[in-house]
Structure 1
């Protein structure tokens, strides 16, 4: 068994070795075949790539040759163009040289002529001086004296004609301006007519009987003193039957006092405590009325967008008067006139209307704040952020500020029209006489004035001059000077006409 096992073992070993050798050679054969196939494929790929590369290189060379040829052609074309441009520039340079030469020739010729002209001018001036000296020697007058003499002769000869033409032109201009302004003003005024209530400084209260007067006065005058102290007015109880007069310059206080006193009289219980209570209720009622007056005014004027506080201040103007003219009604009249004038002239009627309504808004509080009512009104409108155009238009109506817009001139004109309208305002006799005297004294201060009369309520002055001191031309100048001085020094509503009258009387006797 052992030899057989050994034999099998040897046989297996030999078979294993032979199989390994055969497997090696078979594998090598397969590898060689595969290697040959891959190398063939690689060789084919290399050959194909080389062929494509050669084709691309050939195409690139052909493209490069084409680009080079195009570049050479373009360079040649540019060279030819530059050559043409150079030829043109050379021709232009040659032409400029020719023109410059011609200009130099003309310049030399001009200098020669200019020199000759200067020499001729010098000779003319010299000859003129010689002729002037000869003339002065013959006439025994200097140049200035001769000129003055000639001008004086011309002035004397043409004086009458100059006066006539000046007066004619002035008259034609004034008539034309009056016609146009009258058409505009009459049209504007006729579009709005406002009734005016002439306020006074007293209010009359009718009582049921004279027995009530005793209760109003009270024991030792206690009631009337308390009433006057709290109301800020004077209560006049006199012999007038069934009548009590409330006096005071503040219409608002008078109205409050009237309402309170009417209630006290109706109630019958008049004593200090009741007086204080009645006045407090009257003030509350007046505040409501003020609001109503302001709202009515805003609606009547056609103005929208006003703050509530400004509406209340407008209502207070109902209880203010200026020379007897109700300020709220006056403001309404100015608003309507300003708007009408603006529409006639093609200006901003909205701004003119609003500025006219608010131009006296400062009068509603001017007793509480220092400053003129114009300055106070400006502060009020600025505080409530009103339009700058409205403030500009309202602040110039008393000439405290210059008129910076056309609407400002319209508001100023409407304010003067409303105040100067006959019956709109009242004035005291003393102020009226004083104003006329100031007007006459102003004209009398001019030299050559003999007599001055102020007529038509101060709207016209007639100035009689001394004919031996004032000639026709001087009379015209005197009228202008007097009018200018009136404008500078006096305050007046409307317009003042200045008439200068020069009368020459010649008397002779026949014997």
Structure 2
């Protein structure tokens, strides 16, 4: 019983505690709900306030935007009004201009109408006058035919013939004048070019000799050179192709020969033999051959040096050998190698001034006389031999033509060939280039003029360009144009037969017509 009561009391206490806990929790939740409701109410108030503020701001922005659009529309309307006013003013001005133009057109029409009427009346008067003139012309022509006994066609033909003759004479005089002006200008330009080239270049000259002197230490050497029964001197002369003159000249042996290259080979060989001391036929042949080979190399190097100086580096070795041999050839005292070098420089300068191919002109000028190194090895003139050698070793066609045509053997095919011929004549004819006594020179020129004046019809003859050209003036009454060729050929043949001269001489025959008129 007591146990049950205790149990009931315990259960009652537990139920009271539980209820108390539930009541307290409910109170707390009720308080929390009240706080949440108050917070939500405040949030609603704030949201409502922001909403009202936003509505006020939107209303303000809407009013501002409406005000801005209204102002913009008013400005646009104002601009359009101004544009319309300007257009109206321009239209009024244009209407005024059109009214004025309309009045002017009307006035012009009236004026044109009056002018047309005046021209019509004048045309009628002219037609009447023309008819009157035709009648008068017909009567005058009939009267002229009766007086001159010529028809109109015959008179017209005579008039045309007279006019044609007069016009032909005028055209002939004008053509002759223009031709002379062009010729004078060309000659003046050519002289200026050649003169400038000569002034810009100077070259040394040598004297032509036919003997070489070899000094010896004593006269005892002469016997060793002659050898037993003259075998040494005969072997030396046979190997070199020159003559050894061993006479009473003290301390010297003279080498005589027309070929300068052979003389040089003989001189060098004799000097080596005298220096070596062993002189016998076998040794002579050995030394001569060695000197000839060494001299060929030396001459080739000399030619290479000149070619390098001129800026020409692609010449065939065989051509260089031929060019080097010109060092020991002279013409009237002018060294042929130096002459070739001078001609190359002159061609280069003149070609540059005239706008031609200076490279081809320079090359052709350097090689123009290589045929002189072959003149004893083949038949033909040195231009033809040189041209064949140049063609064989691959020289350009312009160079070959310049070599073959520089003495007039063939016609030049390019202007560079003409320059080579001119430079060759300049180098050979300018003062000091070739040695000739003044007496011989003067006599040659006198003889040249005498030969020219000996022909019938020749009035005057002038030797010019240091005797390289003879200019002949004939009497036009005694000589016709068909006789000129015969006279020039005859003078050239007589010069070739009676004169000795370097290079060539140009024969120019002039038959001049002079017609003089006076305007009063």
Query: Scaled by the length of structure 1, what TM-score is found?
Result: 0.57
Gaps of 5+ in 1: 1-119, 134-142, 156-161, 501-511
Separation in 2 of the partners of 1:260 and 1:494? 41
Q: 1:343 to 1:436 in 2, by over 3 A?
A: same
Q: Which residue of 2 aligns with 1:371?
A: 380
Q: Judge which range, 307-316 or 256-265, deviates more.
A: 307-316
Q: Which residue of 1 aligns with 2:248?
A: 239
Separation in 2 of the partners of 1:482 and 1:186? 34
Aligned length: 349
Shift of 1:348: 0.5
Separation in 2 of the partners of 1:226 and 1:247? 16
Q: Which residue of 1 aligns with 2:226?
A: 217
Q: Does 1:339 align with 2:339?
A: no
Q: Does 1:256 align with 2:265?
A: yes
Is the CA contact (8 Å cut-off) linking 1:444 and 1:452 kept in structure 2? no
Separation in 2 of the partners of 1:197 and 1:267? 31
Shift of 1:196: 2.2
Is the CA contact (8 Å cut-off) linking 2:205 and 2:333 kept in structure 1? no
Is the CA contact (8 Å cut-off) linking 1:303 and 1:354 kept in structure 2? yes
Separation in 2 of the partners of 1:400 and 1:187? 28
Is the CA contact (8 Å cut-off) linking 2:244 and 2:254 kept in structure 1? yes
Q: Of the candidates 383, 389, 392, which is equivalent to residue 398 of structure 2?
A: 389
Shift of 1:377: 1.8
Separation in 2 of the partners of 1:358 and 1:418? 14
Q: Of the candidates 212, 222, 238, which is equivalent to residue 229 of structure 1?
A: 238
Q: 1:178 to 1:487 in 2, by over 3 A?
A: farther
Q: Judge which range, 242-251 or 207-216, deviates more.
A: 207-216
User: What SS does structure 2 have at the residue aligned with 1:395?
Assistant: helix
Q: Does 1:405 align with 2:414?
A: yes
Q: Which residue of 2 aligns with 1:270?
A: 279
Q: Does 1:441 align with 2:459?
A: no
Please give the per-residue CA displacement for 1:115-141, whole angstroms capped at 9, x wherever unaligned: xxxxx9xx99x95996379xxxxxxxx
Is the CA contact (8 Å cut-off) linking 1:297 and 1:314 kept in structure 2? no
1:406-425 → structure 2 map (5 Å cutoff): 406-425=415-434
Q: Which residue of 2 aligns with 1:296?
A: 305
1:486-505 → structure 2 map (5 Å cutoff): 489=493
Q: 1:331 to 1:448 in 2, by over 3 A?
A: closer
Separation in 2 of the partners of 1:488 and 1:443? 13
Is the CA contact (8 Å cut-off) linking 1:461 and 1:496 kept in structure 2? yes
Separation in 2 of the partners of 1:320 and 1:234? 18
Please give the per-residue CA displacement for 1:347-370, whole angstroms capped at 9, x wherever unaligned: 110111111111112222221122
Note the aligned Cα RMSD (angstroms): 4.5
Q: Which residue of 2 aligns with 1:319?
A: 328
Shift of 1:482: 11
Q: Which residue of 1 aligns with 2:214?
A: 205
Query: Scaled by the length of structure 2, what TM-score is found?
Result: 0.56
Is the CA contact (8 Å cut-off) linking 1:188 and 1:340 kept in structure 2? yes
